[in-house]
Amino acid sequence: MAEHRSLQFTLDRSSPVPLYYQLAQQLEAAIERGGLAPGSLLGNEIELAARLGLSRPTVRQAIQSLVDKGLLVRRRGVGTQVVHSQVRRPLELSSLYDDLEAAGQQPATRLLELAAVPAPAAVAAALGVSEGADVVRLERLRLAHGEPVAHLCNHLPVGLLDLDGDVLAGTGLYRLMRTAGITLHSARQTIGARAATADEAGRLAEPEGAPLLTMERTTFDDRGRAVEFGSHLYRASRYSFDFQLLARP
C-alpha cells in the first residue's frame, strides 16, 4: 500500500519555486520526521500525480531528486522505497552515536582496531605527548539503519580509561568517558571535504571519488587535558553539519 496517501502536501502554484522542488522538499521533510520511515513505499507516480493535480514528469523529477540524494531508491518489482533520512548533526560537543540514537537512526558500531600504537606527529601535538609515545588507537565504522555513515579514528592517552571492544559496539566513546568520570569541557574542531579513495569508498559503500566530509577534533576535559584526538570521515550523501550563525554586534 502506498505510504504517501496519509501525508498532506501543500503546493503553492503562485510561488516562483518550481512545483517539483516544493514536492521534493515536503517529501524529504516527511522522511526526516519519520512520516516516511526507512523501507516504506512511496507508491505509484501516476497515482501521486493524480492526487496532487501535477503532471507525471513533475512528480518524477521530484522523486528523482531524492533518489539522487540517496533518500529514495527505485526497486524493480517493488516500487520507489524510502532508504533513509540524511543525518544532520548540530555542531556541538556530542557523540555521533548519541546523536544518531536521539534521531532514531538505529546506530551500530563495527570495531576495526583497538590497540596501543606510537603517536604520529599530528596526534602527539594534539594530545600533548612526545612523538612516538604510546597512545590508544580506536578505529570504528559507524552505521545507521545497517548502512555505513562514518569512519572514525580516535587516539586517546594511554591509561585514560579502559576500553572494551564488546562495550564499544553498543555505545559511544563520549558516553564511556562520562561514565568513567571524565568531564568533557571543550573541543577544537576543523571541518573539510575531499574525494574518497578506493579503500575509503569500499568501506563507506560509496563510489571512488565520492565527496566525503572530514572532521578533526581535539577534546579537552574540565582540567584542560587533551583527552581525545579524532579524525573522522562522513558520507556527504548521508550526513551534514548544521551551523547556527550569529551576527556580530
Nearest CA to 150 among 203, 197, 192, 99? 203
Res 195 pLDDT > 60: yes
184 to 6, 127, 201: CA distances (angstroms): 44, 15, 32
**Is the model more confident about 120 or about 171?**
120
Mean pLDDT of the chain: 83
Which three three-digit cell numbers place residue 119?
603517536
In this prediction, residues 67-73 reach a mean pLDDT of: 76
**Is the model more confident about 220 or about 81?**
220
C-beta separation of 55 from 19 below 8 A: no
DSSP state of 162: -
With a CB cutoff of 8 Å and minimum separation 6, the contacts of 51 are: 4, 5
**Is the model more confident about 84 or about 45?**
45
| End-to-end CA, the chain | 54
What pLDDT is recorded for position 228? 94
Q: Is 204 helix (H, G, I), strand (E, B) or coil?
A: helix
Q: What is the pTM assigned to this prediction?
A: 0.64
Strands 79-82 and 211-221: unpaired
Q: Is 134 helix (H, G, I), strand (E, B) or coil?
A: strand
What pLDDT is recorded for position 64? 87
Q: What does the alpha-carbon distance between residue 198 and residue 184 come to, in Å, rounded to a whole number?
A: 35
**Is the model more confident about 85 or about 20?**
20
C-beta separation of 43 from 81 below 8 A: no
Give pLDDT tens digits for 31-42.
777 677 777 777
The H-or-E segment that residue 147 falls in is strand 147-157
- State the helix-helix crossing angle for 56-68 and 45-52, rounded to 10 degrees: 120
Strands 87-90 and 239-242: parallel
Do you know the residue count of the chain?
A: 249
C-beta separation of 137 from 155 below 8 A: yes
Res 210 pLDDT > 70: yes
C-beta separation of 119 from 229 below 8 A: no
Taking the CA atoms of residue 94, residue 98, residue 100 and residue 105 in that order, the dihedral angle to the nearest 10 degrees is -170
Give pLDDT tens digits for 83-126.
765 555 555 556 666 666 665 667 788 999 999 999 999 999 99
C-beta separation of 91 from 234 below 8 A: no
Q: How confident is the model at residue 65 (pLDDT cuts 50, 70, 90)?
A: confident
Q: What does the alpha-carbon distance between residue 221 and residue 223 come to, in Å, rounded to a whole number?
A: 5
